[in-house]
Amino acid sequence: MIQTENKDFSRDIGTKALLNTNRTALAEHKFRLEQMRMMQSMWADIESLRSEFAEIKKLLENYKVKHD
């Protein structure tokens, strides 16, 4: 690999590809991806709870109508 003017990048000799060698940026990127995955999982759980709550509410309303 050849170091470029920017210390965060190197160029691969064989493929001429520009590679980001900034390990801090990679760690931050991985951290953000994990946060996003966790948030998506939490939103799915929240939507599931909302659905279950709506179903329970509907059942209680039907029970109340039948027993009044």
Determine the pLDDT at residue 39: 98
How many domains, in total, are found in the chain?
A: 1
Rg (CA), the chain: 26
C-beta of residue 28 within 8 angstroms of C-beta of residue 21 = no
Question: Which DSSP string do the residues of the chain spell out, in sequence order?
Answer: -EE-SSTTEEE-TTT--EEE--HHHHHHHHHHHHHHHHHHHHHHHHHHHHHHHHHHHHHHHHHHHHT-
Distance CA 58, CA 16 (A): 63
- pTM of the shown model: 0.62
pLDDT tens-digit series, residues 4-60: 888 898 999 999 899 999 999 999 999 999 999 999 999 999 999 999 999 999 999
